Structure 1
Amino acid sequence: MRIVSLDIQNFRCIKQAHIAFKSQTVLVGDNNCGKSTVLEAIDLVLGPDRMSRHPVVDEYDFFTGKYLNNDEPIQILSEVVVIDLSEEQLRYFNSHIEWYDTENMSMLSEPPASQTDKDNVVPALRVRFVGNYNKDEDDFEGYTYYANPPAIADGKPDVFSKKDKRMCGFLYLRTLRTGSRALSMEHGSLLDIILSIKELRPQMWEDVIHQINHVTVAAEPELGISEVLTSLQDEIHKLLPADTANNPVMKVSDLTRENLRRAITVFLDSGLRREDDTVYAVPYYKMGTGTINVLVLSLLRIIANLKQKVIFAMEEPEIAIPPYIQKSIITNVLSNSHQAIFTSHSPYVLEEFSPDNVIVLSNDMGVLNYEAAKLPPQVKLKAYREDLRRKYFESLLSKRVLITEGRTEYDVYSAAARRLEELDSAKYASFDRMGIALVNAESDSKVAPLGKYYKSLNKTVYAVFDKQDEAASKNIAESVDEAYEAQEHGIENVVLNGISEAALRRYTNEIIADGRWPSDLVGETPTPDVNYSELKGIMFKFFKRKKGEGALADLIAQCKADEFPTFVSDTISDIKSKIDSILLE
Structure 2
Amino acid sequence: MLDTIVRLEAERAGPLWEKALTDVVSVVVADESSGFSKIREEMTERIRRFVGLTAHQEPVDIHLSEATREHLRETLRLFVATQPGRHAVPFNRLSTGTLNLLVFALLTYIAELKGESSVIFAMEEPGIALPPHAQRRLVDFVTRRMGQAIVTSHSPYVIDKFDPAQIVVLGRDEDGTLSSSPVVLPQGFKAKRFSTNRRQFAEAVLARAVLVVEGSTEADLVPVIADVLEQDPSVVDYVHPDLAGVSVFNAGGDHAVPAFAPLFKSLDKRVYGIHDTPTKPLSEDVVAKADDFALYRVIDYKRVEDLLVAEVPAEVQRRFLSVAGERSDYPVQCGWLRQDMDDAEVAQLVRSVLMKHKGSGYAALLVSQCTNRRELPASIVEFLLEVNADLYPPTGVVQDSPATGDGEVSGEPE
Range of TM-score over shorter length:
0.5 to 0.7
- Structure 1 distance, partners of 2:190, 2:343, is 41
Aligned to 1:309: 117
Moved more, 340-349 or 350-359: 350-359
Superimposed CA distance per residue, residues 505-554 of structure 1 (whole angstroms, 9 cap, x where no aligned partner): 111233335565424323xx443222223332332232122112121111
Instruction: Go from structure 1 to structure 2 and tell me whether the alpha carbon gap of 1:526 and 1:451 turns closer, same or farther (over 3 Å shift).
Output: same
Q: Which runs of 5+ in 2 are unaligned?
A: 18-69, 82-87, 399-414
Instruction: Go from structure 1 to structure 2 and tell me whether the alpha carbon gap of 1:376 and 1:505 turns closer, same or farther (over 3 Å shift).
Output: farther
Instruction: Go from structure 1 to structure 2 and tell me whether the alpha carbon gap of 1:322 and 1:197 turns closer, same or farther (over 3 Å shift).
Output: farther
Q: Which runs of 5+ in 1 are unaligned?
A: 1-189, 205-259, 272-279
SS class of match (1:433): helix
Matched, 1:564 2:376: yes
Aligned to 2:386: 574
Amino acid in the other structure paired with 1:497: A
Per the normalisation by structure 2, the TM-score is: 0.66
Alignment of 1:164-563 (within 5 A): 190=1, 267-268=77-78, 284-306=91-113, 307-310=115-118, 311-362=120-171, 366=177, 368-374=179-185, 381=192, 388-424=197-233, 427-467=237-277, 475=288, 477-512=290-325, 514=327, 517-522=330-335, 525-561=336-372, 562-563=374-375
Instruction: Go from structure 1 to structure 2 and tell me whether the alpha carbon gap of 1:288 and 1:362 turns closer, same or farther (over 3 Å shift).
Output: closer
- Structure 2 distance, partners of 1:546, 1:368, is 45
Amino acid in the other structure paired with 2:386: D
SS class of match (1:581): coil
Checking the alignment, whether the CA contact within 8 Å between 1:556 and 1:564 is kept in structure 2 is: yes
SS class of match (1:534): helix
- Structure 2 distance, partners of 1:376, 1:292, is 44
Instruction: Go from structure 1 to structure 2 and tell me whether the alpha carbon gap of 1:369 and 1:354 turns closer, same or farther (over 3 Å shift).
Output: closer
Checking the alignment, whether the CA contact within 8 Å between 1:376 and 1:453 is kept in structure 2 is: no
Instruction: Go from structure 1 to structure 2 and tell me whether the alpha carbon gap of 1:285 and 1:501 turns closer, same or farther (over 3 Å shift).
Output: same
1:401 Cα deviation from its structure 2 partner: 0.6
Superimposed CA distance per residue, residues 217-239 of structure 1 (whole angstroms, 9 cap, x where no aligned partner): xxxxxxxxxxxxxxxxxxxxxxx
SS class of match (1:483): strand
Superimposed CA distance per residue, residues 410-462 of structure 1 (whole angstroms, 9 cap, x where no aligned partner): 11112211333244485444322221111111112111110111101111101
Amino acid in the other structure paired with 2:200: K
- RCO (CA 8 Å, sep 6+): is it higher in 1 or 2? 2
Percent identity between matched residues is 27
Checking the alignment, whether the CA contact within 8 Å between 2:208 and 2:244 is kept in structure 1 is: no
Checking the alignment, whether the CA contact within 8 Å between 1:297 and 1:325 is kept in structure 2 is: no
SS class of match (1:401): strand
Checking the alignment, whether the CA contact within 8 Å between 1:304 and 1:333 is kept in structure 2 is: no
1:394 Cα deviation from its structure 2 partner: 0.9
- Structure 2 distance, partners of 1:327, 1:531, is 54
Superimposed CA distance per residue, residues 156-185 of structure 1 (whole angstroms, 9 cap, x where no aligned partner): xxxxxxxxxxxxxxxxxxxxxxxxxxxxxx
Q: How many residues align?
A: 325
1:384 Cα deviation from its structure 2 partner: 5.7
- Structure 1 distance, partners of 2:145, 2:116, is 5
Aligned to 1:132: none
Quick check: which one's strand share is greater? 1
Amino acid in the other structure paired with 1:308: E
1:483 Cα deviation from its structure 2 partner: 1.7
Instruction: Go from structure 1 to structure 2 and tell me whether the alpha carbon gap of 1:264 and 1:199 turns closer, same or farther (over 3 Å shift).
Output: same
SS class of match (1:505): helix
- Structure 1 distance, partners of 2:388, 2:4, is 47
Instruction: Go from structure 1 to structure 2 and tell me whether the alpha carbon gap of 1:287 and 1:441 turns closer, same or farther (over 3 Å shift).
Output: closer
1:555 Cα deviation from its structure 2 partner: 0.3
